[in-house]
Amino acid sequence: MITLFSFAKVAKNRFKSPEDYVKFQRFQAYQIIDRFSLVKEAMQGKKVLDLGCGKLGYTMELANYAKTVHALDLNISGCFHDNGNIIPIKADALRLPFKDGTFDFCFCASFIEHVANKKRVLEEIRRVLKPGSLCYLSFPPFYSPVGGHQFKPFHYLPEKMCLNLCKKIKKIECESYSTSFGNWGLYPTTIRQVRHLVKETNFAIESITTRFSPINLARIPLLNELLTWHVEFILRKEF
């Protein structure tokens, strides 16, 4: 069972080194798998896609359960102990290099808020999943305390004002949210927006929860965008 102390400890240290960030991701992945029996069952001995894998921290934990994990990102970085079932792939999430119905499960954490064309990402996830398969999709809603990423807490202000303040106070140099991470950016993403896109792309929603919270703030109308630090969707491709 996760404790606030244990999570706060790994979160506090995550930027000290690449290894610490990987530990932070692995900690979260283990807790997610432990909390969601659906996720564990969907991965067990199966073919998994980790979409937007980044530094491969989540990937390494997923690999303890899956038969194979295809770890895909435009900017894969970091190292991992290859036990033979991790396949790193540098590719674009808008044009996944896989045939229809390739995967039994898709894990997509803290990624969709960095993509402008979210509907296209969801369409591609649905395309490469087998019928009946699940997708774990999570992100920090933009209007939550951490939703502005490195721009917090100034992200509640108009974008230009926020960027000017971040330049002066945080020494962050960028012209817009969309160019804040080099060849990818930050795009204000809400729970309402993603729920709408999920329905448009014909996914069924199995659950909507708040990561590591005893109270499911994500289900509270209106306040969910402000109080949910990280929302989790479990989606199913029904046909």
User: Do 176 and 69 fall within a single domain?
Assistant: no
pLDDT higher than 80, residue 81: no
9 or 120, which is more confident = 120
Q: What pLDDT digit, counting tens, does each position of 88-97 carry?
A: 999 999 999 9
User: Do 141 and 155 fall within a single domain?
Assistant: no
pLDDT higher than 60, residue 121: yes
User: Do 154 and 222 fall within a single domain?
Assistant: no
User: Do 129 and 72 fall within a single domain?
Assistant: yes
User: Do 77 and 192 fall within a single domain?
Assistant: yes
Averaged pLDDT, 190-196 = 98
User: Do 58 and 165 fall within a single domain?
Assistant: no
Q: Which residues are CB-neighbours of 3 under 8 A, at least 6 positions away?
A: none
The answer to whether the beta carbons of residues 84 and 61 sit under 8 Å apart is no
pLDDT higher than 60, residue 112: yes
pLDDT at 6 (0 to 100): 81
Number of domains the chain is built from: 2
User: Do 172 and 71 fall within a single domain?
Assistant: no
Whole-model pTM: value is: 0.94
**For residue 75, what are the CA distances in angstroms to 10, 128, 182, 184, 220?**
23, 21, 10, 10, 35
User: Do 93 and 41 fall within a single domain?
Assistant: yes
Q: How many residues does the chain have?
A: 239
Distance CA 159, CA 211 (A): 27
8 pLDDT band, cuts 50/70/90, is: confident
Domain holding 25: CATH number?
3.40.50.150
User: Do 105 and 208 fall within a single domain?
Assistant: yes
User: Do 129 and 167 fall within a single domain?
Assistant: no
10 pLDDT band, cuts 50/70/90, is: confident
pLDDT at 76 (0 to 100): 81
User: Do 70 and 181 fall within a single domain?
Assistant: no
- Print the domain residue range for 84: 4-145+188-236
User: Do 31 and 57 fall within a single domain?
Assistant: yes
Q: Which residues are CB-neighbours of 67 under 8 A, at least 6 positions away?
A: 45, 46, 47, 48, 85
Q: What pLDDT digit, counting tens, does each position of 34-62 carry?
A: 999 999 999 999 999 999 998 899 999 99
